[in-house]
């Protein structure tokens, strides 16, 4: 299986060496260790400050576009008029043909690396259940899913160096199409989805791969992008499974070695 032949991540270094003190069996020594970098990125939508996201360096345009898509603020590539980024100062401007929501939930939000939406729970669930189910006839073989999750693990180089990032990728029958690592799992997913959106890649026959937990916010990101299957090395939450059943998304977890668990819509997987 081929993987990432047409997509190579480039940009600022995601980690750098720092001097640390190591305690080991009663002895102390100085050592150099790779430590992940993090940076704030402030997103302006139609010249209105929308959100500041704490993320790994690089992939800023993809992150911004994926974030807007995940929040339902854009729906198709033609909604975007212009994107400009000043990487050295962490500022990103996106102009769209759609208005900026004038609510406290959106304006001037700060999103930490570990967080997804900042809405109240009931409002979030009601919002999620207004989404349309994913429209897809795609099916995936068990062998293919295990091969692609193995590729994700093999290519997670920053994680192996630092242990401080999450990985997300898109795959189809040919292998991995794009992949990002980020200190925030939501950021990694937004970068992957944003990359596809910018490049007008149809997603209704793709699967979203994750290194970590499948949270309900990530399930909703997949639904908005019309992705029919989420494949993870870790577990989904109960709410994720409930929403996946409603939104026609197959959730596969604990995909490791030769095994995985199917939590919703097993009919999409060819055993």
User: Would you please indicate which residues are annotated as catalytic (active-site) residues?
Assistant: 115
Contacts 24+ apart (CB under 8 A), 188-192: 189/66, 189/70, 189/218, 189/221, 189/222, 190/62, 190/63, 190/66, 190/67, 190/69, 190/70, 190/221, 191/59, 191/62, 191/63, 191/66, 192/62, 192/66, 192/168
Token pair for residue 179?
């992949």
DSSP string, 100-149: PP-STTTTTEEE-TT----S-HHHHHHHHTTSPPP-----EEHHHHHHHH
| Nearest one of 129, 118, 18 to 67, comparing CA atoms | 118
Residue 32 exposed, middle or buried by CB count within 10 Å (0-12, 13-18, 19+): exposed
């Amino acid at each position: 299986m081929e993987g990432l032949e047409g997509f190579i991540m480039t940009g600022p270094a995601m980690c750098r060496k720092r001097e640390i003190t190591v305690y080991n069996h009663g002895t102390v020594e100085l050592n150099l260790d790779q430590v992940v970098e993090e940076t704030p990125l402030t997103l302006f939508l139609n010249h209105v400050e929308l959100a500041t996201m704490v993320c790994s360096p690089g992939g800023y345009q993809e992150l911004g576009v994926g974030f807007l898509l995940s929040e339902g603020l854009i729906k198709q590539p033609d909604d975007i008029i212009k994107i400009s980024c000043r990487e050295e100062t962490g500022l990103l401007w996106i102009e769209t043909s759609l208005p900026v929501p004038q609510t406290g939930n959106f304006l001037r939000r700060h999103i930490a690396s570990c967080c997804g939406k900042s809405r109240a729970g009931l409002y979030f669930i009601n919002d999620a259940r207004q989404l349309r189910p994913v429209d897809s006839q795609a099916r995936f073989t068990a062998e293919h899913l295990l091969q692609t999750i193995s590729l994700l693990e093999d290519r997670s180089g920053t994680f192996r160096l630092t242990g401080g990032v999450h990985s997300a990728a898109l795959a189809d029958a040919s292998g991995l199409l794009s992949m990002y690592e980020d200190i925030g799992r939501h950021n990694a997913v937004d970068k992957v989805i944003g990359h596809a959106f910018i490049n007008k890649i149809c997603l209704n026959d793709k699967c979203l791969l994750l290194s970590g937990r499948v949270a309900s916010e990530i399930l909703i990101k997949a639904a908005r992008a019309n992705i029919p299957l989420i494949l993870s090395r870790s577990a989904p939450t109960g709410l994720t499974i409930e929403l996946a059943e409603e939104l026609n998304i197959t959730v596969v977890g604990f995909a490791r070695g030769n095994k995985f668990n199917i939590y919703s819509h097993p009919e999409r997987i060819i055993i």
